């Protein structure tokens, strides 16, 4: 690439940067009004879906207010239940990033469940291979293996997209099924612990190599991993040139190509990081919860992570909060069943409602005068 070309490219980037925030300079009050809109619309959508869910509960003969109170108590009511919520939030944060990161590039990747499973299996394999190493080394090896396994899994999705224009949504979804079949094959065959009769499983990870809990709580280290990963993604995507380039690609891929951005490289790196997060979730699940690989790995955290990413509008920081909220809702499934005789699918209905209303609310941006400022 000669000097002139580079100059052209940087000029194009400047133009793009200016174009991406046209009103920043035009109206002084615009920035905070947009920020207000970005908070008010998702919060409003969640409130609307709560009302709809309340109506649904009422038609099913359960008092909505009592249901909400029970969900609140089961999720955040006591230190014990809040710990339970946080334990569920940890994998949700990590799997949500698997959708959130590529979404900034304009890719809808929903291979979270598959990357989690592959990450979990890789972590177990690594944990068994270095069983005699010091615990810290073994844990690091498991985390690394989980991240590489999951990362390559989703990087393959990205590669197929950029190389062969294979639709990333469909391919990542198919790979979920392939990952689960692979898990079943491994725990029923090559990796099977003969003593696991009812639920075919791999050999267990050594007790001292399991991830420790934080202090005297039940919360394991996975929560720290989740929060750190979300913070890293937040900084990477919102405050670095890499993130800026990724957002340009997501905004207008042709303009990004014209500006000389290496679209495929940025895309592959982002997909790898996305898969690595979900793979780490798999490692956390085996190394802190199950202790071995079996079908419990595919417990739906991947699919719930898609919802978290969309509600958080694919931003790192809101993912943390959304994951805690959804973790609380998942934790309350049992109480709805025991106290109100509502089937466990109630939580799934609620998730679907939230998702539908959130998507509907996407079409409302820019429709409210309050958020536009005087000159708009």
Partner 1 sequence: MINSNTESIGWWGVALGIAAGAVRGGTPFLLVSLGECLTEKSGKINLGLEGTLLMGAMTAYAISYKAGNPWAGVAAAAGAGALLGAIHALLVSRPKVNDIAAGIAMLIFGSGVAFYFGKPFIQPSAPQLAPIALGSWSTSQPVQAALKISPLFFLGVSMALFLNWFFRSTRWGMRVRAVGDAPAAARAMGISVGRTRFFSIVAGSALAGIGGAHLSLFYPGAWTEAISSGQGLMAVALVIFARWNPIHCLYASLVFGGAQAVGPALQAIGISSGYYLWNASPYILTLLVMILTCSPKRTLIGAPGALGSGA
Q: Of residues 83, 184, 252, 339, which one binds partner 1 by CB under 8 A? A: 184
Stretch that binds partner 1, among 16-24, 26-34, 174-182, 245-253 (CB under 8 A): 174-182
- CA separation for the pair 154, 99 (Å, rounded): 10
365 contacts partner 1 (rule: CB under 8 A): yes
Tokens of 85: 């919520």
Which pairs with CB-CB distance under 8 Å and at least 24 residues apart come from 207-213? Answer: 208/135, 209/127, 209/131, 209/135, 209/138, 209/139, 209/142, 209/287, 210/287, 210/288, 210/291, 211/139, 211/284, 211/287, 211/288
167 contacts partner 1 (rule: CB under 8 A): yes
Q: Of residues 92, 175, 261, 297, which one binds partner 1 by CB under 8 A? A: 175
- Strand, helix or coil for residue 124: helix
Q: Of residues 9, 352, 368, 373, which one binds partner 1 by CB under 8 A? A: 352
CB nearer to partner 1: give 216 or 363.
Answer: 363
Burial class (CB in 10 A: 0-12, 13-18, 19+), 3: exposed
Stretch that binds partner 1, among 69-77, 119-127, 220-228, 343-351 (CB under 8 A): 343-351
Size of the site for partner 1 (CB under 8 A): 45
Report CA-CA distances (Å) from 31 to 34, 96, 186, 354, 371.
Answer: 5, 27, 53, 27, 10
343 contacts partner 1 (rule: CB under 8 A): yes
What mask, x for binding partner 1 by CB under 8 A, covers residues 99 to 118? ---------x-x--------
95 contacts partner 1 (rule: CB under 8 A): no
Which residues touch 204 (CB under 8 Å, ≥6 apart)? 193, 291, 292
Alpha-carbon dihedral angle through residues 61, 64, 69, 70, given to the nearest 10 degrees: 30
Stretch that binds partner 1, among 69-77, 90-98, 217-225, 300-308 (CB under 8 A): 300-308
Q: Of residues 46, 50, 160, 224, which one binds partner 1 by CB under 8 A? A: 160
59 contacts partner 1 (rule: CB under 8 A): no
- Strand, helix or coil for residue 153: helix
CB nearer to partner 1: give 59 or 132.
Answer: 59
CB nearer to partner 1: give 189 or 215.
Answer: 189
254 Cα distance to chain centroid: 27
Task: Report the interface residues with partner 1, using CB under 8 A.
Answer: 108, 110, 160, 163-167, 169-171, 173-175, 177-178, 181-182, 184-185, 188-189, 303, 306-307, 310, 343-353, 355-356, 358-360, 362-363, 365
């Amino acid at each position: 690439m000669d000097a002139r070309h580079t100059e052209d490219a940087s000029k194009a980037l400047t133009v793009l940067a200016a174009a991406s925030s046209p009103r920043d300079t035009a109206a002084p009050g615009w920035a905070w009004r947009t920020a207000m809109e970005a908070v008010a619309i998702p919060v409003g959508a969640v409130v609307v879906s709560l009302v709809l869910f309340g109506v649904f509960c009422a038609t099913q003969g359960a008092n909505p207010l009592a249901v909400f109170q029970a969900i609140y108590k089961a999720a955040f009511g006591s230190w014990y239940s809040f710990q339970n919520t946080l334990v569920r939030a940890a994998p949700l944060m990590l799997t949500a990033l698997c959708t959130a990161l590529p979404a900034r590039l304009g890719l809808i990747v929903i291979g979270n469940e598959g990357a989690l499973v592959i990450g979990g299996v890789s972590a177990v394999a690594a944990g068994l291979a270095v069983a005699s190493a010091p615990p810290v080394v073994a844990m690091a090896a498991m985390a690394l293996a989980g991240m590489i396994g999951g990362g390559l899994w989703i990087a393959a999705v990205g590669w197929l997209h950029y190389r062969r224009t294979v639709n990333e949504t469909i391919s990542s979804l198919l790979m979920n099924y392939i990952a689960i079949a692979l898990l079943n094959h491994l725990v029923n065959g090559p990796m099977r612990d003969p003593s696991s009769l009812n639920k075919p499983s791999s050999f267990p990870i050594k007790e001292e190599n399991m991830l420790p809990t934080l202090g005297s709580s039940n919360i394991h280290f996975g929560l720290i991993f989740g929060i750190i990963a979300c913070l890293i993604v937040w900084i990477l995507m919102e405050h670095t040139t890499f993130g800026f380039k990724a957002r340009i690609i997501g905004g207008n891929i042709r303009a990004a190509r014209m500006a000389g951005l290496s679209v495929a490289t940025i895309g592959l790196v982002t997909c790898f990081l996305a898969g690595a997060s979900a793979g780490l979730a798999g490692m956390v699940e085996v190394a802190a919860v199950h202790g071995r690989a079996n079908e419990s790995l595919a417990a739906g955290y991947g699919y719930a992570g898609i919802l978290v990413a969309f509600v958080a509008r694919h931003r790192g920081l809101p993912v943390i909060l959304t994951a805690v909220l959804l973790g609380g809702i998942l934790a309350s499934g049992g109480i709805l069943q025991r106290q109100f005789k509502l089937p466990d699918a109630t939580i799934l209905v609620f998730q679907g409602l939230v998702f539908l209303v959130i998507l509907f609310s996407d079409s409302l941006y820019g429709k409210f005068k309050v958020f536009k400022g005087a000159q708009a």
